[in-house]
A and B are shown apart, each in its own frame.
Chain A
Amino acid sequence: MSTRGERVRMVLCIAVLVALPFVLNNYWLGIANAIGIAAIGAIGLNILVGFTGQISLGQGGFLAVGAFTSALLAGRAGLPLPLAVAGAVVVTATAGAIVGLPALRLKGLYLAIATLAAQQIIEFTIRRWRWLTEGRGYLEAPPLGALGWRVQHAAFERTWYWVIVGAAALGAIVARNVFRTALGRSFMAVRDQETAAQAIGVNLTRAKLTAFALSSGYVGLAGALTAHYTEIVTWERYTLDISVTYVGMIIVGGLGCIAGSIYGAAFLMLVPPLLSALADAVRDTAPFLADQLPALQNAAVGVVIVLFLLFEPRGLDRLWRRVKEYVATWPRS
């Protein structure tokens, strides 16, 4: 926030965010809300993968922990919704620290496989634990509300928009500032060179476990918000495919970059609705596209991940910087 250009951009961003709910219809506002929730989850994953260098394929499982905890606390235990969401954040952070324990011994691909196992075990648990859903296979989550106020049906998406944007903005600011503290710097030291980090006095156990806990806290928040936003929690929403999509988001956006997490979340959440809009538009000339829409949407995520890794491994954030440099130095670039 130091230069004039940055201040202007900040004001523009805020203006766009404030104007959006008055411009978009409910369909696109719903997509904006999904992007906001995904951005919170992606920031969380980026703290772990991008800033601390610990690969995780357990994102879907952590989202599920957050969603089920919040739905249970607000629904079955009858806690006020904000308290339930806070409880979900704490529980998911704890779960993250527990899953992070193997990270103290394992690195790289072994850690990826360990978190994959955690994802499978959590997925199996939420599918098969009858107490969780009382045998119905799904769990209802109470709708947004606090202190007697409840979200109105007519303004559903718009009300949620303010809640989600508020939470995402707060999350982004907190994450940004964490990386100015000694703790955040120790995460990056662990990522860059573990042995050197230890030599300069970084407590590896503490750094890794806090990174897992902090990251999972964000993911738990995203999961809890999803639960109350969709008002229903089912295991299908938290499979390994979701974990993969989230890792895709931070790769597309840029590893180790808070703004990148938001770009990546927006990009990958926009691909399926844009593809379906395209398929609708060319239904007459290219019926193939409409027929194969689900398969193409699945393929798109994979194609985007592969292309970014091959051609711009540092993601949209780097791409954006290059555009800015080009404009700044034009016509001499």
Chain B
Amino acid sequence: MTQFIQLTVYGLSNGAVLALAALGFVLIYKATNVINFAQGEFLLVGAYAFYSAFVVLHLPAILAVAVGAAVAAALAAAIERLLLRPLIGQDPIAVIMVTIGLSAVLKAVVQIFYGTTPLEMPKLLPRGSVAILGAIVPTDRLVAIVVAAAVFAVFGAFFRWSRHGVAMRAVADDTQAALAQGISVNRISALAWAMAAASALIAGVLIGDIAEVSQNLAGFGLIVFPVVILGGLESVPGTIVGGAIIGLVSQYADGLSPGASQVAPFIVLVVILLVRPYGLFGQPRIERV
């Protein structure tokens, strides 16, 4: 039982980070119909941008997050403008491959600046542990869940009440109609990429704080696929549910057989693709043969 509770907390905290990464993925997909294979590298770039501001430049933590987020968002907006916009209307293979090529470049750039050895960051989240129903769980993982929930609340409020948030929803709903209302789709695309990079930065900082800042962060980018397919590619609430389910499934799988967490999400992915390709909350408009 204690192990079960521990695995549950670990699964939910991993799921919270995954949900943040998946949120960025879904924002990009909804606004621009691009499948971003570089989402994991956004986590990586975000974590290292934060590390540079916090450890190298000695900025205070809050300011470091803001600086890191600004850098990551600017980078993402530039990527959208220079790499993705010229490919609008092209073959899906081209769009997918440009983000894959981008992921190789981003990973290599981080490698050039920081090498491949993992970096230790001074801890931001509280250390120590608390007892829940007799199980000892680390506090930082619980705080990570709270932080992720707060970020989701901020994003939710943005979409509900902000002018730009409503415009983004309009574009996702019907691009032509949004254009007719005078919404600049180009600006919304850039905004979506920038917001995706910012949410990935928070995910990267959280997981970098819990574990370490290293190239392995990019691996989260692949587990985002099971999350978004499970939740539905167009669904923001889906990322929360999908993140939680995938986080829990991989931790429980690890509990049964150590190491199984690497493959369990992808088995879920295959099953979902075969049974319900549009996911739990997606719209069933996938083309069938």
Contact = CB atoms under 8 A, between A and B. Distances in A.
Contacts of B179: none
Interface in B213-269: 222, 225-226, 229, 259, 262-263, 266-267, 269
A120 B289 contact: no
Contacts of B105: 299, 302-303, 306
State the main secondary structure of chain B at its contact with A. Answer: helix
Interface in B81-134: 83, 86-87, 90-94, 96-98, 100-105, 107-109, 111-112
A106 B104 contact: no
A38 interface: no
Contacts of A114: 269-270, 273
B287 interface: yes
Given A110-B277, A116-B222, A120-B266, A306 B111 contact: no
Interface in A2-55: 49, 55
Contacts, number: 127
Contacts of A113: 35, 225, 229, 269, 273
Given A55-B96, A109-B35, A113-B229, A124 B262 contact: yes
Nearest to B112: A295
Contact of B111 (A104, A121, A295, A304): A295
B16 to A, nearest CB: 22
B108 A295 contact: yes
A114 B222 CA distance: 12
Contacts of B101: 248, 301-306, 309
A230 B96 CA distance: 32
Contact of B92 (A108, A118, A296): A108
B276 to A, nearest CB: 11
A194 interface: yes
A126 B252 CA distance: 22
A298 B111 contact: yes
B112 A292 contact: yes
Nearest to A54: B93
Given A108-B92, A117-B266, A204-B289, A306 B83 contact: yes
A104 B289 contact: yes
B286 interface: yes
B288 interface: yes
Contacts of A108: 92, 287
Given A110-B286, A298-B111, A305-B98, A121 B267 contact: yes
A121 B87 contact: no
Contacts of B267: 117, 121
A35 to B, nearest CB: 20
Contacts of A294: 111
B56 interface: no
Contacts of A322: none
A107 to B, nearest CB: 5
A175 B217 CA distance: 40
Nearest to B104: A302
A310 B87 contact: yes
Contacts of A55: 92-93, 96
Contacts of A109: 35, 92, 96
A102 interface: yes
Contacts of A120: 222, 262-263, 266
A302 B218 CA distance: 15
B92 A121 contact: no
Interface string A275-294: 00000000000000000101
Nearest to A204: B289
Contact of A313 (B90, B274, B287): B90
A309 B108 contact: no
A128 interface: yes
A118 B266 CA distance: 8
B21 to A, nearest CB: 15
Nearest to A113: B225
Contacts of B270: 102, 114, 117-118, 121
Interface string A166-198: 000000000000000000000000000010000
B263 A121 contact: yes
A105 interface: yes
A113 to B, nearest CB: 5
A16 to B, nearest CB: 31
A97 to B, nearest CB: 16
Contacts of A247: 97, 100
Given A55-B93, A299-B108, 6 more contacts: A55-B96, A247-B97, A302-B100, A302-B104, A305-B101, A309-B87
15 contacts: A106-B286, A110-B286, A113-B225, A114-B269, A116-B222, A117-B267, A117-B269, A120-B266, A294-B111, A295-B109, A298-B104, A298-B107, A305-B101, A306-B105, A309-B101
The 8 closest A-B pairs by CB, nearest first: A302-B104, A299-B108, A305-B101, A302-B105, A124-B263, A295-B111, A306-B101, A298-B108
Interface of B: 35, 83, 86-87, 90-94, 96-98, 100-105, 107-109, 111-112, 222, 225-226, 229, 259, 262-263, 266-267, 269-270, 273-274, 277, 286-289
